[in-house]
Amino acid sequence: MDIKSVGIVGAGQMGNGIAHVMALAGYDVLLNDISEDSLAKAMATMNQNMERQVGRGKISENDKRQALSRIRTTATLTELGSSDLIIEAATERETVKTAIFEDLVPHLKPDTILTSNTSSISITRLASRTDRPEKFMGFHFMNPVPVMQLVELIRGIATDAETFETCKAVVDKLGKTAASAEDFPAFIVNRILMPMINEAVYTLYEGVGSVQSIDSSMKLGANHPMGPLELADFIGLDTCLAIMNVLHDGLADTKYRPCPLLTKYVEAGWLGRKTKRGFYDYRGETPVPTR
């Protein structure tokens, strides 16, 4: 199938990043969110990020202008029904995602491909709540989308070969690299990354090291570009906790038990950069460790 139009559900950090790269690659994009303010903010963010790319010589001013002209926004979910490909990038909660797909299904073209940007939830289970499990798969971008080169493609038990090949061709057109993952909790990247972050939180919880010493140790001792606690703040502690819960529930192994300190931070509403406090306090000029 030749994809020309892409509908994106959710205008947050992931959704606007996906819209950004899709429009630059020549796709017509319809970006949806329940909040008009979020849509306006997403357009401003994409304009700013593309301007940064122009400044770095990655794209031309004309590339930017044409890409932005390909993006439309709507607060009406059902308007996405005419898209060739739909990528759901809403909150990492299965009930929210399921409700979105159930609302979309009656308005879809027969050949529309449905995908989810979920970082951990069962693709097979999400697909089963639609009328086209064979045309449903996981389309997991890494954050920040315009910068990161990997896209995880996850087939559910019913996903057909044509759907996979079509999505793979989209990834190729974006200039990114596809990694094929099986439909098991958290797939590849987060199956490995999140337990490392969770273990870093345990290391802090047990007093083995401070926030600063843990992050410095992994940056200087393992050559990681960001420390695990700094990375957790960037991802969002609520997202980290949600993925750990999916791993713990889905694999029934105590090694995936979320650290109580991670749960405590989420209960406090200290979710990282997006709330200005997490393992670091971002309210001043320089981030300061909170423990």
**Residue 92 confidence (pLDDT):** 87
What is the rounded average pLDDT for all residues in the chain? 97
In this predicted structure, the answer to whether residue 195 has a pLDDT above a threshold of 90 is yes
**CB of 108 closer than 8 Å to CB of 114:** yes
Mean pLDDT throughout 77-91?
97
Torsion angle defined by CA atoms of residues 263, 269, 273 and 279, in that order, rounded to the nearest 10 degrees: -50
Mean pLDDT throughout 57-77?
97
Percent of the chain with pLDDT over 90: 97
Torsion angle defined by CA atoms of residues 103, 12, 197 and 284, in that order, rounded to the nearest 10 degrees: -150
Q: What is the pLDDT of residues 261-273, one digit of tens each?
A: 999 999 999 999 9
**Residue 1 confidence (pLDDT):** 80
**CB of 183 closer than 8 Å to CB of 123:** yes
**Residue 176 confidence (pLDDT):** 98
Give the confidence band of 277 by pLDDT, cuts at 50, 70, 90.
very high
Q: What is the pLDDT of residues 212-265, one digit of tens each?
A: 999 999 999 999 999 999 999 999 999 999 999 999 999 999 999 999 999 999
**Residue 237 confidence (pLDDT):** 97
**Residue 151 confidence (pLDDT):** 98
Q: Which of the following CATH numbers is that of domain 190-289: 2.60.120.1030, 1.10.10.10, 1.10.1040.10, 3.10.20.30?
A: 1.10.1040.10
Helix segments in the chain, DSSP class H: 13-24, 36-55, 61-69, 94-104, 123-128, 161-173, 189-205, 211-221, 228-235, 237-251, 260-268
Give the confidence band of 21 by pLDDT, cuts at 50, 70, 90.
very high
Q: What is the pLDDT of residues 108-162, one digit of tens each?
A: 999 999 999 999 899 999 999 999 999 999 999 999 999 999 999 999 999 999 9
Residue of 141, 136, 123, 139 lying closest to 184 (CA atoms): 123
Residues with catalytic roles: 119, 140, 152, 190
Mean pLDDT throughout 38-46?
97
Give the confidence band of 201 by pLDDT, cuts at 50, 70, 90.
very high
Give the confidence band of 40 by pLDDT, cuts at 50, 70, 90.
very high
Torsion angle defined by CA atoms of residues 53, 55, 56 and 59, in that order, rounded to the nearest 10 degrees: 50
Say which CATH class 5-181 falls into: alpha beta
Torsion angle defined by CA atoms of residues 237, 23, 5 and 118, in that order, rounded to the nearest 10 degrees: -10
Percent of the chain with pLDDT over 70: 100
**80/36 Cα distance (integer angstroms):** 16
Mean pLDDT throughout 95-99?
96
Domain boundaries, the chain: 5-181, 190-289
Q: How many residues appear in the chain?
A: 291
